[in-house]
Amino acid sequence: MAAALKDRLTPFERLGGAVVLERIVERFYDLMERDRAYAELRAMHAADLAPMRRSLAGFLTAWSGGPRNWFVENPGKCMMSVHGGLPIDAQTAGQWSAAMQRAIADVAPGDRETAELFAGRLDQIARAMARIG
């Protein structure tokens, strides 16, 4: 993609829009449900992950510059505060980040540079959450 055109696009658009973000989120929770490497992370979540699949896809869509429905439906909700009451430690933050890095790599958005930036930012946020609980 030409650099000038790419500069005008949001990360949401560069990644491939809602379809790609939904695929990443589905893969993320499938990994969390199926792979014992994320057992402690899975145990922190409710039995039914369907609401989380919807909420995380909506959040990532809004946060990356796409339709802002999640922000409108959750006025003033801060991601760090949502997690502030959870007992997140280095292990569960590392599991969250590892599953997300793997989900992004598996879905493999065409714009690899943006995918790496996106994965790197989520890693930083997840690791910061381990220090606020």
Binding site for ligand HEM (CB under 6 A): 41, 44-46, 52, 55-56, 59, 79, 82-83, 86, 88, 92-93, 96, 122, 125-126, 129-130
- When the beta carbons of 31 and 129 are compared against ligand HEM, the nearer one is 129
- When the beta carbons of 7 and 75 are compared against ligand HEM, the nearer one is 75
* Residues contacting 114, CB < 8 A, separation 6+: 11, 14, 15
d(Cα 20, Cα 27) in Å, to the nearest integer?
A: 11
d(Cα 93, Cα 104) in Å, to the nearest integer?
A: 17
- When the beta carbons of 5 and 87 are compared against ligand HEM, the nearer one is 87
- Least Å distance between CB 125 and ligand HEM? 4
Residue 21 · residue 15 · CB < 8 Å: yes
